[in-house]
């Protein structure tokens, strides 16, 4: 296998990887140059999008600032798969969070028992986040009863009245395409209690306005989120009603003060026939988007579980920016110290190893962007640390190289022997580090996982850089006899050049 390392196909692959890495690393600059923008300052369209890849470093919350919350789900509805309930809860949270306008909110399920949800929101305070996610939205059904004092609003002459049917009575709402395959509808399935109430309601509605398919206010069942008795009492105020009747707005609700009036309306459906059996369909010229929105709206009115906050971390954006600056400084400092040390101690091989180290840094950064790996403070440390490890394989080879020269080999033969003999140690020692990384990555909490991932990527990249890149550079340098002078190779003058 090691013979292959010096072949031209491998060299071409390495060059291709290097070019690709530099392109990815400098994607922002490539974009600026290609579009004739200045190289510094704000430019529209960054980060650039190359074939669906947003090539920029994804920063974790501790670097970007924001809020991280772990929720414990309790009170699972009986008789439903926990994984499904967890997924539905995630959708609900997603819907609620969307109103905050967070870029790339991360809402993930966790827990061995599907009983955890982790939420990462950049640029949001803990209070905002918790109010939005934990806001107790209650989905309620109303029918319409006559009230002559109501002159305006969605149904003039009528005001809503609670019918005792709430989000708790709904098992789920889903958007599907109807049997004809022509239009989008929303299916609602009720719990057994809900099914009974719904059956009675629709029967009364149809009886109130006899005739097939008649549209009269008494036949309407309307769904709201968080509609209160106080709202209904204010129904005679047309101004108030026009605000309440607006589409449901989580953003407004999460920021609401006692005096704001937020939209609470979801859908106003006409009962065409009595519906028994607990399966209802809402039709009405939906698009795929609007049907999905409505289904999510109905579902988000009913978190299927209770959310209990386990822990909250809120990081200010200034602290994050400072951490980035300090870590970058530490990384650059560390890298330059290592480069200087390697060149002084190992001369030409040290220089080549340093070049390989730069290749390694470029490649790892590109991997972080392409995968993408979300970088946290611990993750950056893993990366900086792997710079130190990247040198190790080189040191093993170079020390062995000195030994082989002392044992009487020519410099060219010694390079070859050194790489071959150092290989088992390099392989075994890096395997053990990788095993540690895998264990940390699987069982660790998120901060530790970030560290394990960057360190793991770093270890693999350092292997390639030391075995393939350095060795090839050495082999190329060997062809020039001027560079083969022992003093440049960091070995004794007494060694034979040949």
**Does residue number 454 form part of the binding site for other proteins (CB under 8 A)?**
no
Residues 55-74 that bind other proteins (CB under 8 A): 62, 70, 72
Q: Where are the alpha helices (DSSP H) in 188-237?
A: 192-208, 229-233
Single out the residue of 392, 412, 483, 485 in contact with other proteins (rule: CB under 8 A). 392
Q: How far is the CB of 328 from other proteins (least distance, A)?
A: 10
Q: Tell me how far the alpha carbon of residue 143 is from its chain's centroid.
A: 42
Single out the residue of 429, 475, 478, 483 in contact with other proteins (rule: CB under 8 A). 429
CB atoms within 10 A of CB 433: 17
Q: How far is the CB of 152 from other proteins (least distance, A)?
A: 38
Q: How far is the CB of 319 from other proteins (least distance, A)?
A: 4
Tell me the Ramachandran region of residue 164: left when phi exceeds 0, alpha when psi lies from -120 to 50, beta otherwise: left
In this chain, which stretch among 7-15, 209-217, 277-285, 316-324 interacts with other proteins, using CB under 8 A?
Answer: 316-324
**What distance in Å separates the CA atoms of residue 368 and residue 12, rounded to the nearest whole number?**
23
Q: How far is the CB of 486 from other proteins (least distance, A)?
A: 13
**What distance in Å separates the CA atoms of residue 34 and residue 470, rounded to the nearest whole number?**
33
What is 307-372 written as a DSSP string?
Answer: EEEEEEEEE-HHHHHHHHHHHHHHHHHHHHHHHHHHHHHHHHHHHHHHHHHHHHHHHHHHHHHHTT
Bridge partners for 144 per DSSP: 160
Q: How far is the CB of 3 from other proteins (least distance, A)?
A: 20
The mark string for 177-216 relative to other proteins (x by CB under 8 A, - otherwise) is ----------------------------------------
Residue 45 or 408 having the CB closest to other proteins = 408
Q: How far is the CB of 493 from other proteins (least distance, A)?
A: 9
In this chain, which stretch among 217-225, 235-243, 294-302, 340-348 interacts with other proteins, using CB under 8 A?
Answer: 340-348
Contact 74, 389 (CB under 8 A): no
Residues 398-427 that bind other proteins (CB under 8 A): 399, 402-403, 406-408, 421, 424-425
Residues 351-380 that bind other proteins (CB under 8 A): 377-378
238 Cβ contact partners less than 8 Å away, ≥ 6 residues apart: 151, 152, 153
Could you give phi then psi for residue 362, rounded to 5 degrees?
-60, -45
In this chain, which stretch among 31-39, 93-101, 211-219, 331-339 interacts with other proteins, using CB under 8 A?
Answer: 331-339
- Nearest in space to 118 (alpha carbons), one of 133, 106, 130: 106
Single out the residue of 428, 479, 480, 482 in contact with other proteins (rule: CB under 8 A). 428
**Does residue number 123 form part of the binding site for other proteins (CB under 8 A)?**
no
**Does residue number 310 form part of the binding site for other proteins (CB under 8 A)?**
yes
Residue 104 or 311 having the CB closest to other proteins = 311
Instruction: Tell me the two tokens of residue 402.
Output: 């000195």
Could you give phi then psi for residue 144, rounded to 5 degrees?
-115, 130
**What distance in Å separates the CA atoms of residue 437 and residue 433, rounded to the nearest whole number?**
6
In this chain, which stretch among 86-94, 166-174, 383-391, 464-472 interacts with other proteins, using CB under 8 A?
Answer: 383-391
């Amino acid at each position: 296998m090691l013979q292959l390392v010096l072949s031209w196909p491998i060299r071409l692959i390495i060059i291709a990887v290097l070019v690709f890495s530099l392109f990815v690393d400098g994607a922002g600059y490539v974009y600026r140059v290609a579009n004739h923008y200045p190289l510094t300052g704000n430019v529209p369209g960054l980060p650039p999008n190359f074939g669906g890849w947003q090539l920029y470093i994804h920063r974790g919350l501790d670097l970007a600032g924001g809020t991280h919350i772990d929720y414990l789900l309790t009170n699972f509805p009986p008789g439903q798969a926990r994984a499904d309930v967890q997924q539905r809860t995630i959708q609900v949270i997603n819907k609620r969070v969307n109103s905050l306008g967070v870029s790339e909110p991360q809402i993930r399920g966790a827990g061995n028992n599907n009983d955890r949800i982790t939420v990462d929101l950049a640029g949001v305070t803990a209070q905002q986040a918790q109010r939005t996610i934990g806001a107790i939205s209650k989905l309620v059904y109303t029918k319409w009863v006559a009230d002559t004092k109501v002159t305006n609003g969605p149904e003039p002459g009528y005001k809503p009245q609670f019918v005792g049917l709430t989000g708790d009575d709904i098992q789920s709402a889903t958007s599907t395409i109807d049997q004809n395959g022509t239009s989008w509808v929303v299916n609602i399935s009720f719990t057994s209690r809900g099914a009974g109430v719904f059956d009675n309601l629709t029967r009364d509605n149809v009886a109130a306005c006899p005739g097939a398919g008649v549209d009269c206010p008494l036949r309407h069942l309307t769904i709201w989120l968080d509609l209160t008795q106080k709202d209904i009492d204010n129904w005679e105020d047309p101004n108030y009603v026009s605000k309440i009747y607006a589409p449901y707005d989580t953003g407004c609700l999460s920021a609401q003060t006692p005096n704001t009036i937020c939209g609470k309306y979801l859908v106003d459906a006409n009962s065409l026939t009595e519906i028994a059996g607990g399966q209802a369909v809402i039709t009405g010229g939906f698009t795929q988007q609007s049907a999905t929105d409505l289904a999510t709206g109905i579902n988000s009115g009913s978190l299927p579980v209770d959310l209990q906050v386990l822990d909250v971390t809120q990081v200010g954006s200034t602290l994050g920016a400072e951490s980035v600056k300090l870590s970058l400084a530490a990384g650059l400092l560390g890298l330059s110290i290592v480069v200087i040390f390697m060149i002084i101690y190992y001369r030409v091989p040290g220089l080549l190893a340093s070049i390989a180290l730069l290749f390694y840094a470029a490649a790892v950064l590109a991997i972080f962007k392409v995968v993408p790996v979300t970088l946290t403070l611990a993750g950056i440390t893993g990366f900086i640390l792997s710079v130190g490890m990247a040198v190790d394989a080189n040191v093993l080879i170079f020390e062995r190289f000195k030994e082989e020269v002392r044992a009487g080999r020519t410099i060219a033969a010694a390079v070859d022997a050194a790489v071959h003999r150092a290989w088992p140690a390099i392989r075994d020692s890096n395997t053990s580090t990788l095993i540690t990384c895998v264990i940390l990555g699987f069982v660790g909490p998120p901060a530790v996982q970030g560290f394990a991932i960057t360190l793991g990527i770093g270890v693999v990249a350092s292997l390639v850089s030391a075995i393939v890149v350095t060795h090839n550079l050495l082999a190329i340098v060997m062809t020039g006899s001027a560079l083969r002078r022992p003093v440049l190779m960091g070995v004794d003058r007494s060694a034979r050049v040949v």
